[in-house]
Every structure is written in C-alpha cells, then in structure tokens.
Structure 1
Amino acid sequence: QLLRQVSDIISKNLREADILARLGGDEFGIILQNCDLDTAHHVAEKVRASLDHLVFSWQQTSHTISCSIGVVPITAESAGISALMKAADIACYTAKDSGRNRVCVMSMDDKQMASQQGEMEWHNRIQTALQDNRFFLECQIITPPTGRGKGLRYEVLIRMRSPDGSVVPPSAFLPPAERYGMASRIDRWVIENVLEKLSSAPRHLDALEACHINLSGRSFDQTDFADFVVGRFHHYGVPANKICFEITETAAVHNLLEVQAFMKRLSDMGCSFALDDFGSGLSSFGYLRRLPVSCLKIDGMFVRDIVTCKTDLAMVRAIHDIGRTMDMITVAEYVESEDAASLLKEIGVDLLQGFWVHRPSSLDDILGTEPSRLSEKVTHLKLHTT
C-alpha cells in the first residue's frame, strides 16, 4: 500500500511522456524525456518535497516518508544503459551520504562520481569474497595494565584475501561495505564463524572471559538481525556471557531505539556490550543511561598521542572518569608504547589494547594455544616491544 501511494505521488509530478518504474524494493527510476539538468533538478525537488509531506497510516500508526534522489544526464556520449544505471546509483548514494532527503545532480565526469564508482566496485568484490570464503579472522588480546586478568579477553578482527592471496586492509573494504549495504552480511559471517569456532574449543571457552565482536550500525536496520544472533547462540551452544558486542558511539546514537531493543534482548541472555570509539562522536552522555553498556572503549585518536598531547590526556581522564562514575570498565585502544601504558595505568584505565600489548594474530592460532601460554606471550610482548 505504501508503494502504491508513493508511485501515485511521483506520477502526479511527472509529464505524460515521462517514464516511471519500480526497480525493486523501495527503489524507483524515472526517465525525463527532452529535459535539461536544471529542469530535472526542479522536477526531482518537487517529487522529494511531495513525498516529504506524505503521512502513511497503517494499523493505527502514522509514518513519515522521505527519499534520496540521484539525477544524471542521458547524452550522446553516455556509455550505455549499464553505465547510466551505475551513475544514477552513485548519485543516489551520494544524496544519502549527504544527509538523506535530498537531491544530488551529477554529470558523468564528476570527480566525486569517479571516486564513488571505485568504492561501488567493492560491492561485487565483497560479495565474491563471501561466496569464495576469502574472509578470515584475527584477534587482538586485551589485558589489564598489570598483564594479569581474570581470564582471556580479545577483540575479533575481520580480514579479507584478494584472489591472488594477498591480504586486503580493512580500511579498503569496510567503508564501502558500510556505504553499500554489505556490512550486515559481514557481521553475520563473523558471528557465525566465531560461535562455530568457539563451540569446537571447549578448553579455550572455559578460560575465556570475553570475546569482543564488532557490529555495524547497518545491521540494526534489519528487523531479523536479533533473531539471527539469538538463533546462532542456540545452534552452537556458546554461553552468551562469553561474548561482548562492540557498537560504535555514532551507531548507537543514530539507531538508538533499535540498538536499545537489541541490547535488552541479548543482555537478558547474558551478553555484555561495549561502546567503541567513545569520545569521537561527542554526543550527549544522556543516552548512556538508556543502554546496558558495561564497557567504554576510549577512541584511539585520544590514546595514540597521550604522551605528548595534554589535551588528549585530559580527554582520556575525562572519559575514564565518566566510565568509573557509571560503573563501567574502560578500555584504551591504540596503546603503542610503554610510556603510554604507564600513563594509562596511572589514570586507572582498566584494560589496554594495541600493538604494545599484542599484535593481531590468527584466531585459529589463539584457539589452538594453551591459555597459560597466551598469558606468557602477552607479558613477553609488553616487556620487550616498543
């Protein structure tokens, strides 16, 4: 019914010769014949404004609607249908990235379009990597400043291999995965594989205090995500209290209701939660009281230069004080030197993570190593690595 109303509103803003089609899901395409870019921009704005005023009522509930529109020209120089569709797709994603509920007009030679097109090619690469099982898992140990914790704690890190076997840096494939809707598939792959591996290593599981798994904000856009996670716990029989899900501060604020419902359901099972990159969003701290968070991970951009920058040192102290006041564990990321570790210990930060503590290694290797030997390995790194 919503799609019918949307298509009806769009049609009323078009001429008789124009073409409207539903491309799939909630995506529509429009061809404006004999129309220059300025006029097309005006028409697109009319469509956007009309949908912005639509109030859709369903089962005694009212919903507001908005849309993002990408506009590209069809000229004699256009490469063909596939290129035009890709260009329109890029323009639409650009409108979304610019804040949604807006129109983005692009010409085929825009530098921004060329950049976006390079990122969009990652969609197919990531999809192929998932199909060919070219993702693998590493982990980085998290430990108290003393090196002696209650048990083993680490963060799982996703990695990708290219077809030639070389490792693709996460900074290359994770941003496009977020942008073009693949991040949730990666999240599901990680959860599936981590729980499967943990279920097959009972001795490791006994020594494990917490395995940290990152979640993308995009996963919370999917209504069945919580059902999937709960289902995987039941399938593999891994105790929920062994898993700590990490959600970035920005994702938590932007998806507050969805994140709150997810956290409530999973924390009732025993899972714990950490707010990752805390401090980067500079959001109101009021939302913290609404979330069952037990751990604050201080953004690494404040930790990295803590030895030389007094402002960063003050930020770390402030975030740690907030966490302590709210009975939360604090974790400092990007700890890369003994001096930084000493400062963090003096502040009272509970846990450290970074190259000075442990360089990421294969999760399979960690699972196959006796927990006592892992502890010795971390201590050795702390004493001898600078």
Structure 2
Amino acid sequence: MLRLLWLSMLYLLGAWFAGVLILAPDEVTLFWPASGVAYAAVLRYGPRWSLFVVIPILVNHALFAPVPLPFLPYSVGSNIVAALAGYLVSHAVSGNPTRLSVRSGFGLTCGAVAMSGTSGLIGSLGLLATGMTEASDFGHAFARWTMGDLLGIICVAPTMLYLTHTGPSETAPRLDGQDARREKALWLACAIASAGIFYIAGTYSGLYSLGLVSLPLALLLWSAVRFEVLWTLVGTGIAVLVITSITALGIGAFRSPQDPFDVALLLAFMCLFANVPLMLAASIAEQRAATRRALLRAVTDSATGLPNRSAFEEALQRLAARSGIEAGLLYLDLDHLSLINDTVGSAAGDALIQGAGSLLRATVDRNDEVFRIGGDEFALLLRGSHAHVLGSAERVLGAIEDYRVGWQGQALNATASIGLVTFVGGHGDHTHLLSQADTACFTAKELGGNRICIANQEPGELQERTAAMRWAVRIREALDRGLFELDCQSIQPLDGDDGQGRHFELLLRMRDPVTGQRLAPGDFIPAAERFQLGVQLDRHVIELALGWLEARPAAAAEVHLCAINLTAASMVDEGFQRYVVDRVQRSSVPARNLCFEITETSAVRDLARAQALITQLRALGCAFALDDFGTGFCSFNYLRTLDVDYFKIDGSFVRNLQDSPLSTAVVRSITDIAHVLRKKTIAEQVEDQDTIVMLRALGVDMAQGYGLHRPEPLEQYFARDYVTRAR
C-alpha cells in the first residue's frame, strides 16, 4: 500500500509539472517525467505494477489537465500498454535492465523507445479520435508526445531504479574523504555558474544559449568520470529539467518549438544530452565493478569464502595503526587435521575446514573479522578489551571442540590451538604482533593443543619463544649453502680385539651462516625436529657420509662400523624409508659396515613403521643401535619387537657408575639382557679410565666418550692411525 501511494504521488507530481510546461490548451507537453516513474515501476516491481497509473492519471485530468471524457481511455491505455511494451522490449534486449551496466543501459534505452513510441501512437490516435487535434497535426502531436515521453524516461527512470535498488550497492564513490568533498563543492560552483551564464546569455539570444549547452554537458561528463552514479543521475535530471523548462516556457530569447521537425530535433538533442552521461557513468561503473570482483577474488579464500592472508595482513596493519583502539589477534590452527586427511580423505578435511570457517564467523561479534590464512590456519581480529577478547577466544575454542561434521556416516571433529595477543592501536608494529601470535599458537600446539596460549609482550620472553624459529631459518640456510660438516668419535671395543677396523659414530656439526662458528647438534637438532627439518638433515648426513667414503675407497676399506643417527621424523616417513634403502643399495660402501642409531623414544612412537625400516635395512646387511637405552620406563618391553644389534647405554648411568649402586645395577641388567638376546652393548659418555675398568668388569662390549676419543673432523680422523683397544 505504501509503495502504491508514493508511486502514485510521484506520477502525479510529474504529470503536474508536465502540465505547467503546456502554454496552450491544444499543445502536447515537451516533457512527461511521469512516464519515467511508470517505466521504473514495471521494471523494478513487475508488469502488474503498470496498473498503478490509472488512479494518478484520472486525478491529474480531474485537477490539473481537463480532457474530454472520451479521451480518458486513450490516456490511461497509452500509459499502461506503453509501460508493458517497454518492459517486454527491455527484458528481451538485456535480460535484466535494472543492473548497472552498458548492456542493461542499452536495453533500458530500447525499452524506453518502445514505450514512448507506443504511448505516442495511442495518445495521438486518441487526440485525433476525440477531435482534440486535426489530421494535419497528427505528425506534430505524435512527435511531441513520443519525444516528451522518451525524455521523461531517460531523465527519471535510471534515478528511480538506482534509488529503489535493495541489494548490495552496485557501485561506489570514485572519490572519498576531504578531496572528494572539495571536488564536489567545485563542481556545484561550476554548475551554478554555468546555469547563470546560460540564463543571462539566453536573455540576449537563444543561439548563444543553445551553444552554451555544452557547459552543463561537460559538467555531467566530469561527474560521470569522477563521482558516484547517483550524482550523475540527479545532475542529469536537473539539467534536463532546467533546459526543457526554459525552452518550453519561452524564457529569455528561447521560444517553444512549433514545427514538428523542430520539436523532434530539440527533443532528440535533449535525449542525447541526457543519455550520453548516463551511458558513460554506467560504463565506468561496470569497469569498476569488474575490478572490484577481481580484487575480491584475489583477497578471498575460494574454499571458505573468507578473506585470505593478503586481506588479513592489510586489515591487521590498518587496525594496528588506529590510535587508541583496543583489539586482539587470534592465530588459530586446527589440531591433527592431517589424521582426518590420512584416514578419511582430503575431501573430508576440506569439509571440516569449510565448516570451521562458517562456525568462526557465526561465533564472533559482528564487528570482528575472520580470515583463512593457510591450510588449517585461521586468524581473527577482535575489538575490545583484553578480558573481552580472551572471553571471545575461549568461546571460539569451545565452539570448535563441540563442532561436528557428518561425513559418510561418520562424525568428524577437531580441536584448535590458539595464540592470542592483545594490543592498543598505534603502539606496535603489525608484523611484531603477527610474530607474537604465531609463536603463541605454536606453543599451544606443542603443549598438546586444544588450548589458548597468550603471548607475553615482554621482549625477553618473545626472544625465547622465537629462538627456535630463528634456528629453523639458519638450518635451512645452512642446507642451501652446504654448511654442514661431519665429525667422527671412535667407539672402542673393551674385549681387547683391535683387528676389526674403525668403529665410529658420525656427529653432525653446523657452520653458523653468520658467525662461522661450528655448532654441536644440541644447538640445532631440537629446532630441526620442532620444525619438521629432521628428515632433510638425515638425508643430508647420509649423502655426506656415503659420498665421502665412496670418493675414498681406501678410507672406506678401514671402516668396520659407521654409525649414523636418525631423527624421530625419519622413522615414520615413508619417503625417507624409500630413499635410504635405494641409497644404500646404490652405494659402493658395504651395507654391513653401516649402523643406524635410533632413540628409544622415537622408535616407540610408531613401532610398526620403525620395525619396517629396521627390517628393510637389515635385509641389506645394515646394523641398528638403540640409542639412549635405559631412559624409558618400559624399555625391556620393546626388545622383542625392535630387532636391533646394539644397545647404547645412556650416559646418565655411565657417568654415575662409580658413585651410584643403582647405575651399576642398571648397566649390569642391560648388559645381561643384551647378551641373552645375542646383542652387544655400547656405553656412552665414558670420561675416565676407572669407568672403563668398571664397564669391562660388568661385561659391557664397547665404550664411547671423551675419556677415549674426542670428536674430530672426518678427514682428520682418517688421516691418522687409531689404536682401537681401550686401555
């Protein structure tokens, strides 16, 4: 009802204004803006809305423009039938003429021509049939009626369609801020000045004023290029209204045209005057819309529909720069998503990620932002105090834990590790905040996941948390630049047999890319394992060792046992297993001279895969040693499963051998069990001769430590003869 009321009022207002421009009772108005109202109504709301014109037409003829009663059906019919004709033609040409584009503008124009032509024909026939015009004036009436409708449609319909659009904004200002306001103020000043010049010149000669029409046209083209579409639509309507009114009313030197050709020429010019800026504005708006869509695709994650990492970094930078605003950054990583991908399939993992994205968006406040920044990683920017942000983080953590995704009869779920940092805008760098949140998230994941870790703003703690990350960068650089080196430490028999050849363990050293210092494994191996670089290091060590021995057959012939350490990640990496088996098979170094050392904790992590690797390499002739043996609570339970050749007794027992009866009992027990299983034992961290004597008395087979031999570079180790018998 409300829509019918305001449409009727607009139509009636347009009809009244058109009547004002009629100077004689037998004239047809030069400008019929009511046709634009009817055209916009049927395009926006559907063909049935063409009927709303009945009441305002009857009211108009009753109050403002009296006509003979027989003419009323022609007047009503011309508007209704014409509106339907315009609707059908516009949709046939462009499909959806209400969209802001060049194609829809062309469809809108074709429909306007069809509507005005239909209205002009029916209306002119009505004038002729009711005796309101002579047959000789039929062409004049038709031209004036048709062009007046067309001009009214072009000036009014686009603006109405734009203002009644209820979806997302189809365009945006080309300018923003203080500069936009200044330029628009300048435009308005120029528009007022041009109107004044147009009027003053018109008082002297219509020819001069007609030439000055280029001034408002230039202003409208300026608006189409620089301002939002609505600015151009309104400006065009006002300009046409003013020029048409001055012409129709004969103000100044202007005279209302009487000849049909003059009428047609004037109205055609005015239609062109109105249409050019609108088509230019539509073209520019369409290009801008295409650019925005391309930009949106560039900053949107296709899987979840959330903004991606590029959008996140820009948003974080803007928020961190806003002085005084309290906010928080959540760095969220889904826990153990790889298990779902491995067991159910990557499609299930993708479904869980998509669901998690939607869940996060629904969980946080409307003003908060959610981004997908990686495979299973999300970032959230939350507004509010520390307490508010922490409460939101706890709510997000609980929502993720409770969330379930149905997949092929299964209920998939995941937990999350969240790193949280709160900040006040204008007091920190966005890259620093991101580093803190990332580090806190990594810490939460290392602590078992399904928890929130709050980043501490203190530089000392941040440095401690990011130290491992810096080590990872240094390790990658050392791998790329070939800065890893091998040392050897002798493993000496305690049974007096010195004729077997060299027994030694390879120890990895890293040449620091910055200082050039040689670093021990304890400095970088923890970081390598933490950041999944263990497999790369193990491959590199094997290549270095085998490559060096293959290039020196004489040195390789002296080797009886070369021990190479493997990290925990390599034990369960199928790619590494294939690599090491292939590399040993291709090597000229006999497999029987190679021994791979694995720790007890890494072996029991995945007993099946560890035993598979051991079985494959033992089939080639390689030996295995169980390193740090005795530190686990259930070490003996795994001895039957892990088919190793050597037990390396952990140094914590060996160092205390002389002072601790418990250490003595542990070493004796390990040695006895090893001999029962036909294995050999190696004591680590042997520091003095007294310990060697005790180890020999306990039956330990071999010893290794600074008391026997300090590690030295590979080439230096093979450059000298070594006595392999412990004293």
Which TM-score applies when normalising by structure 2?
A: 0.48
Is 2:571–2:602's contact at 8 Å kept on the other side of the alignment?
no
2:667 to 313, 316, 331: 316
Cα drift, residue 330 of structure 1: 0.6
Q: Residues 54 and 65 of structure 1 are in contact (CA less than 8 Å); yes or no, is this contact kept in structure 2?
A: no
SS of 2:378's partner is strand
**Inter-CA distance 55–286: structure 2 relative to 1 (3 Å threshold):** farther
Matched, 1:124 2:473: yes
Distance in structure 1 (CA, Å) of the matches to 2:415 and 2:617: 31
Query: 1: distance between equivalents of 2:527 and 2:448?
Result: 17
- The reply on whether 1:9 has 2:9 as its aligned counterpart is no
In the alignment, is residue 219 of structure 1 matched against residue 565 of structure 2?
Answer: no
Q: Is 1:294 matched with 2:640?
A: no
CA contact (8 A) 2:657 2:663 kept: yes
Of 177-186 and 326-335, the range deviating more from structure 2 = 177-186
Alignment of 1:168-317 (within 5 A): 168-317=519-668
User: Which residue of 483, 486, 498 corresponds with 1:137?
Assistant: 486
Q: Deviations over 1:355-379 (max 9, x none)?
A: 121111111223344xxx22x3x55
Closer, same or farther: CA 98–273 of 1 in aligned 2, 3 Å: same
2:681 to 325, 330, 341: 330
Gaps of 5+ in 1: none
Does the 8 A contact of 1:66 with 1:101 survive in 2? yes
**Contact 2:489–2:709 (8 Å) recurs in 1:** yes
- List per-residue Cα deviations over 1:48-103 (Å, max 9, x = no partner): 5247x66877xx99998655433333542664343233223322221232234544
| 344-353 vs 178-187, greater mean Cα deviation | 178-187
Three-state SS of the structure 2 residue aligned to 1:155 is strand
1:155 aligns with 2:501: no
Deviating more after overlay: 83-92 vs 349-358: 83-92
Query: Structure 1 residue 178: deviation in Å?
Result: 1.8
Shift in Å, 1:207: 3.0
Q: Give a deviation string over 1:241-291, Cα, whole Å, max 9, x none.
A: 221111111111123232122222222222111110011122352222112
Gaps of 5+ in 2: 1-346, 363-367
- Is contact 1:129–1:135 with CA below 8 Å preserved after alignment? yes
Q: In structure 1, what is the equivalent of residue 44 of structure 2?
A: none
1:221 deviates by: 4.6
- Matching of residues 24-39 of structure 1 within 5 Å: 26-34=375-383, 36-39=388-391
- 405, 416, 419: which one aligns with 1:70: 419
Aligned mates of 2:560, 2:442 — CA distance in 1: 41
2:715 corresponds to which of 364, 371, 376:
364
Once residues 63 and 238 of structure 1 are traced to their aligned partners in structure 2, the CA distance between those partners, rounded to angstroms, is: 49
Q: Is the 8 A contact 1:48 1:101 kept in 2?
A: no
Q: 1:160 & 1:19 partners in 2: Cα distance?
A: 41
Alpha-carbon distance, 1:341 to partner: 0.3
Counterpart Cα distance in 1 of 2:406 and 2:574: 22
* CA-based RMSD: 2.7
**Which deviates more, 285-294 or 145-154?**
145-154
Q: How does 1:73-112 map to 2 (within 5 A)?
A: 73-76=422-425, 79-109=428-458, 112=461
Mark the CA change 1:290 to 1:108 in structure 2 (over 3 Å): closer, same or farther. Answer: same
TM-fit CA distance, 1:346: 0.3
With 266-275 and 160-169 compared, the bigger mean Cα shift is at 160-169
Q: Displacement, 1:175?
A: 1.8
Contact 1:90 1:117 (8 Å CA) reproduced: yes
State the SS of the aligned residue for 1:273.
Answer: strand
Query: Structure 1 CA distance, aligned partners of 2:397 and 2:518?
Result: 44
Higher relative contact order (CA 8 A, sep 6+): 1
1:223/1:37 CA distance change after superposition, 3 Å? farther
- Distance across 2 between alignment mates of 1:261 and 1:63: 30
SS in 1 for 2:508: strand
Q: Does 1:353 align with 2:704?
A: yes
Query: What amino acid is aligned across from residue 13 of structure 1 in structure 2?
Result: L
- Are the structure 2 counterparts of residues 283 and 112 from structure 1 closer, same or farther at C-alpha, using a change threshold of 3 Å? farther
Among all aligned residue pairs of Structure 1 and Structure 2, give the percentage whose two residues are the same amino acid: 33
- Say if 2:506 and 2:562, in contact at 8 Å, map to a contact too: yes
Matched to 2:554, the amino acid is: R
| Segment of structure 1 superposing worse, 336-345 or 95-104 | 95-104
> Greater strand share, 1 or 2?
1
Contact 2:561 2:595 in 1 (8 A): yes
Aligned counterparts of 2:517 and 2:646: Cα–Cα separation in 1 = 34
Q: CA deviation at 1:197?
A: 1.1
Residue range with higher mean Cα deviation, 183-192 or 42-51 = 42-51
**Greater C-alpha radius of gyration:** 2
Contact 1:55 1:64 (C-alpha < 8 Å) held by counterparts: no
Tell me the number of residue pairs that the alignment of Structure 1 and Structure 2 aligns: 371
- Structure 1 length-normalised TM: 0.86
Q: Name whichever structure is richer in helix by fraction.
A: 2
Task: For residue 6 of structure 1, report the CA deviation from its aligned partner.
Answer: 2.5
Which 10-residue stretch deviates more, 222-231 or 209-218?
222-231
Q: Distance in 2 between matches of 1:194 and 1:61?
A: 48
